Amino acid sequence: MDVDGNGSIDFTEWCAATIDKHKLINDKNLRTAFDLFDKDRGGSISAEEVAQILSRTANKQDSVWQEIIAQVDLNGDGEIDF
């Protein structure tokens, strides 16, 4: 449970360890999260859409957003499909 290895369990680590992931990860919740990122409602998420959501708290280069897409882009089209 001590993800950062600092010798103690903080609140975030406790939540991650004790949450029932089967209740949290379901089609309804996944669709809600997907729709949050799919700003243009085109049915896929682009690097630009990821940046629109995540760059509010993290000022990163465009390559970072493209790398995020590449990690889960199974068909290689440069976008994430539901």
For the residues 56-73, what does the mean pLDDT come to?
A: 80
- Does residue 3 contact residue 13 with C-beta atoms inside 8 Å? yes
C-alpha 45/C-alpha 6 separation (Å) is: 36
Cα R_g (the chain), whole angstroms: 16
Q: Cβ contacts of residue 37 below 8 Å, gap of 6+? A: 45, 49, 50, 53, 80
pTM: 0.66
Domain 38-81, CATH homologous superfamily name and number: EF-hand (1.10.238.10)
Both tokens of 45, joined, read 């998420």
Q: Cβ contacts of residue 5 below 8 Å, gap of 6+? A: none
pLDDT digits (tens, 9 = 90+) for 12-42: 888 888 888 888 889 999 999 999 999 999 9
Report the pLDDT value the prediction gives residue 65, as an integer from 0 to 100: 86
For the residues 44-49, what does the mean pLDDT come to?
A: 93
Report the pLDDT value the prediction gives residue 60, as an integer from 0 to 100: 65
